[in-house]
Amino acid sequence: MPSSVEALAALPLRDDLVGLHPYGAPQLDVPILLNVNENTHGVPADVHAAIVEAVAEATRGLNRYPDREFTQLRKNLADYLGHGLTPDQLWAANGSNEVLQQVLQAFGGPGRTAIGFPPTYSMYPLLASGTGTRYVTAARGAAYTMTPEDTARAVRTSGANIVFLCSPNNPTGTALGLDVVEAAYEAGEDARAIIIVDEAYGEFAQEGTASALTLLSGRPRLLVSRTMSKAFALAGARIGYLAAAPEIADALRLVRLPYHLSAITQAAANAALTHADTLLANVEAIKVQRDRIVRELETLGLSPAPSDSNFVFFSGLDDPHRVWQGLLEAGVLVRDVGIPGSLRVTAGTEEETTAFLTALATLI
């Protein structure tokens, strides 16, 4: 019997998919999972009860298609984000990955180019490949920074139709200045480039770090994507969204699948948004542990990157795989993102953070 690799190779795959590997971190059964930036605090009891009640009510109408325009969800998202946004400026899908995929379906495709700035979210090239969009990259500066001048130059030189700006960046956790976003937008004028600022971890930003939501007015090609997976502890519900000019939502309607957001998904998201304050209280607790990790990694002689997210990227390891394996054997799973000398760890609860730091100290 042929192996799965051989069986796949025997299929008439598209040429640009041959040899690719699917996205995904290891899914291992260990006590402490700090590898995929989940909110390890879980859903608070009162929010859980509200979601269960809302979903139970939604099941009464499962013989009918859901609200295709997810009207109440768009209103609740606009109210949550603020910044004067209106429901017609919001769009949602099954996780921010589907939101980004729909953007590429609408504005990318054969003959068009997307640009990213690695190291950054590894789904960008996969989403580009899946839509037949050419994907190019431009280097970051020291400490994974991006300047307005270098960013503008890369956008202009590439002639990109879509620009991915991840802030806070995954996997480094570093945030972009709004001047970088503005420079990218202006540099993309001739190509009418869509500028996507991926703020999946936006709620975890340090005090004083501004959101690109403040730049939306008067910039119809600027999109800001967010998710309910992280701050709202709803990774399993798969709810992502973006804010942009109303015509962006009109464009995405052309490529979305019919009734793409189920009634159950909408019910869960709406219930969670009505309890945003409770959920965001856990965000503050996570930020405390994130800052604690940064301080203690420095004490251990390692080099953590400044983090505006719910994780910490750190370097200075002679053998990161040995450390990763040692942590795993201690019951702690972190992420090896493939950058030499480095690992990434999610900021979990106080107990999980203590377990990680204690195990790490014994390994280095």
DSSP code string of 248-309: HHHHHHTTSPTT-S-HHHHHHHHHHHTTHHHHHHHHHHHHHHHHHHHHHHHHTT-EEPP-SS
Q: Is 146 helix (H, G, I), strand (E, B) or coil?
A: coil
> Sheet of 113-116: strands edge to edge?
90-93, 240-243, 222-227, 194-198, 162-166, 113-116, 134-137
pLDDT band at 100 (very low <50, low <70, confident <90, very high): very high
Write down the pLDDT at residue 148.
98
The CA distance from 165 to 176, in Å, is 8
Task: Work out whether the CA dihedral 44, 45, 49, 50 comes out positive or negative.
Answer: negative
As a whole-number percent, the residues of the chain with pLDDT over 90 amount to 91
Write down the pLDDT at residue 221.
98
Query: In the structure encoding, which two tokens stand for residue 268, read together?
Result: 């869960």
Beta bridge partners of 114: 135, 162
The CA distance from 73 to 304, in Å, is 37
- Global pTM reads 0.94
Q: Find the angle CA(173)-CA(177)-CA(94) to the nearest 5 degrees.
A: 55
CATH topology assigned to domain 4-44+277-363? Aspartate Aminotransferase, domain 1 (3.90.1150)
Mean pLDDT of the chain: 95
Task: Work out whether the CA dihedral 329, 335, 336, 341 comes out positive or negative.
Answer: negative
Taking 80 as the threshold, does the pLDDT of residue 151 lie above it? yes
Indicate the domain borders of the chain: 4-44+277-363, 46-275
Taking 80 as the threshold, does the pLDDT of residue 348 lie above it? yes
Query: In the structure encoding, which two tokens stand for residue 54, read together?
Result: 């809302």
What are the two backbone dihedrals, phi and then psi, of residue 165, each rounded to the nearest 5 degrees? -120, 110
Write down the pLDDT at residue 298.
97
Write down the pLDDT at residue 1.
62
As a whole-number percent, the residues of the chain with pLDDT over 70 amount to 99
For 152-201, the DSSP string reads HHHHHHHT-SEEEEESS-TTT-PPPPHHHHHHHHHHTTTTT-EEEEE-TT
Query: In the structure encoding, which two tokens stand for residue 168, read together?
Result: 């806070």
pLDDT band at 23 (very low <50, low <70, confident <90, very high): confident
Residue with tokens 């009640």, as numbered in its chain: 53
pLDDT mean over 287-311: 97
pLDDT band at 2 (very low <50, low <70, confident <90, very high): low
Write down the pLDDT at residue 27.
76
Write down the pLDDT at residue 9.
82
pLDDT mean over 239-262: 98
Nearest to 221 by CA among 250, 198, 244: 244
pLDDT digits (tens, 9 = 90+) for 109-119: 999 999 999 99
CATH topology assigned to domain 46-275? Aspartate Aminotransferase; domain 2 (3.40.640)
Of how many residues is the chain composed?
364
Cα 185 to Cα 175, 215, 244, 271, distances in angstroms: 17, 10, 14, 35
Beta bridge partners of 164: 196
Taking 70 as the threshold, does the pLDDT of residue 205 lie above it? yes
